[in-house]
Structure 1
């Protein structure tokens, strides 16, 4: 018991609680912790007795977190984040300027790599290690300090800041474009979807007044490069990032059947972007803090140029 009269529960009970909240069941938590479901149940019971509150409503084999559990989970997560960060900081003595990044592949090649020399000039001793996983990393398990992720800023329990929007242009091969008379034809056309943003096309269709399209002719890819390749090969109609689209339109490889500005005026919330994402505690590392300051100070917005040709 602490001097303020609060009795702290055993760490194992908090670990079990944390695992249950993450996995949604005693069995899922048990698999994660490599113990039996009964052992997890006993730890949760011990935690409830220590706190004198009910954390889960038992409904047969289903458990539902109570309001107290939801509140506690936030602080337990923060506590474990602090534990991990403390271990990382101690383990990194002598490597304090090592920075493990996870960067969206498109942002890495189109934006970051060409500018990294500016950051290295600011922190010459930095040991920068870049991963390019498309999915949001598990900052602890994947040993990632900071990420630049593509999306809509939807991540919880982390700090996220928009760096630059990623506006799209509806593009396809010339052969496919010849079959389109207006946006309403998209409902019957092969559309290339991003796995991590299955609602992007519905947002685009709604903006174009072509809502109500079916799920037929759907092709799913994992990243921007695959989306572009699918459009170039004639496999389907893609939502191509503006920088790539301009190059392909000018070369005649792709066509923007509804014009370059068909998606202009979309609500900002419907336009994806690249975000700086990290747990707040990671800013305590000198190198990570310096990288974040540099990234946020850069102007990442790039326009393809004035006077785009009307034929596109």
Structure 2
């Protein structure tokens, strides 16, 4: 009988590959693994012989990943992450019911905290730890189980589920708003970005027919809350989340000079949102899976009373 069972490479060879890919250097991989560069090279050669695939091209002391290495690296990285998570779960009893959730600061204050009692009712025995970071965490390094992140569903290597679209409203103080009659008038003022790197203003201006026009002045902030305060302080024109914009407009602090709905028909790919994001393997842990079920079952568009 023919044995069709896949022959897996030795663990040491995979560890050497994992380190070499991350550092793009055999010497740096050797330093991390506390072995000699020759030992790393031997393990990489063993891996290539086992798989019958060329993973690197050698150029003197430098190495360059092949397409096969790029593909394999994604799965090896996920495998080591799952292995580390499994070891942590079964060897550290204090982690048995602990769940560490990272949440976008805006989502935490506006949506999650008002509903925290719902979570407690559904999972009374869980030890929930919550952190807030704007950037997507390194799940292995930061010891994060799952996250709610703001973005455009760019997490291709992770499991991502859309929870809520974050529609923006072009807003400014009434004094600035009185000088804006057409979309082109926006270009006369400072445009305030809610994040250091994003495409929201360029997408909005292109949608309004101004994609080829030069912007006179821009300021980027680290988070949406700071940008909103800058908008309220007449520093420029902001892209404010709809819930906040409505509250500020009702209070008379801001106006929507081009209308509340001017960006409603933006292409869906240009509208950011809040996503539940986690490594696929984390869903296999019962408590994390249950928390995921609760998060995805909530109607986040409904404002808690």
Q: Same fold (TM over 0.5)?
A: yes
Structure 1 unaligned blocks of 5 or more: 305-312
Checking the alignment, whether the CA contact within 8 Å between 2:194 and 2:226 is kept in structure 1 is no
Counterpart Cα distance in 2 of 1:208 and 1:291 = 40
Partner residue, 2:284: 284
Which TM-score applies when normalising by structure 1? 0.86
Whether 1:231 and 2:231 are equivalent positions in the alignment is yes
Q: Secondary structure at the match of 2:93?
A: coil
Checking the alignment, whether the CA contact within 8 Å between 2:89 and 2:95 is kept in structure 1 is no
Q: Which moved more, 1:194-203 or 1:34-43?
A: 34-43
Which TM-score applies when normalising by structure 2? 0.88
Q: Which moved more, 1:104-113 or 1:89-98?
A: 89-98
Counterpart Cα distance in 2 of 1:238 and 1:179 = 15
Checking the alignment, whether the CA contact within 8 Å between 1:96 and 1:285 is kept in structure 2 is no
Checking the alignment, whether the CA contact within 8 Å between 1:166 and 1:271 is kept in structure 2 is yes
Partner residue, 1:308: none
Partner residue, 2:262: 262
Checking the alignment, whether the CA contact within 8 Å between 2:102 and 2:146 is kept in structure 1 is yes
Counterpart Cα distance in 2 of 1:189 and 1:27 = 52
| 1:217-268 deviation line (CA, Å, top 9, x unaligned) | 1211111111101111122211100111111111121121111011011111
Counterpart Cα distance in 1 of 2:264 and 2:31 = 48
Whether 1:139 and 2:139 are equivalent positions in the alignment is yes
Partner residue, 1:160: 160
How far has the Cα of 1:33 moved from its partner?
Answer: 5.4
How far has the Cα of 1:64 moved from its partner?
Answer: 4.1
Structure 2 unaligned blocks of 5 or more: none
Q: How does 1:69-88 map to 2 (within 5 A)?
A: 69-88=69-88
How far has the Cα of 1:60 moved from its partner?
Answer: 6.9
Partner residue, 1:298: 298
How far has the Cα of 1:93 moved from its partner?
Answer: 2.8
Partner residue, 2:205: 205
Q: How does 1:1-312 map to 2 (within 5 A)?
A: 7-26=7-26, 29=29, 40-58=40-58, 63-195=63-195, 197-214=197-214, 216-302=216-302
Checking the alignment, whether the CA contact within 8 Å between 1:151 and 1:197 is kept in structure 2 is no
| 1:33-65 deviation line (CA, Å, top 9, x unaligned) | 577766655543342234332112346776543
Checking the alignment, whether the CA contact within 8 Å between 1:96 and 1:286 is kept in structure 2 is no
Counterpart Cα distance in 1 of 2:272 and 2:36 = 42
What RMSD over aligned residues (CA atoms) do the two structures have, in Å? 2.6
How far has the Cα of 1:7 moved from its partner?
Answer: 4.7
How far has the Cα of 1:208 moved from its partner?
Answer: 1.3
Checking the alignment, whether the CA contact within 8 Å between 1:105 and 1:134 is kept in structure 2 is yes
Checking the alignment, whether the CA contact within 8 Å between 2:162 and 2:276 is kept in structure 1 is yes
Counterpart Cα distance in 2 of 1:37 and 1:258 = 62
Q: Secondary structure at the match of 2:275?
A: strand
Counterpart Cα distance in 2 of 1:137 and 1:197 = 17
State the number of aligned residues. 302
Change (3 A) 1:109 1:303: closer
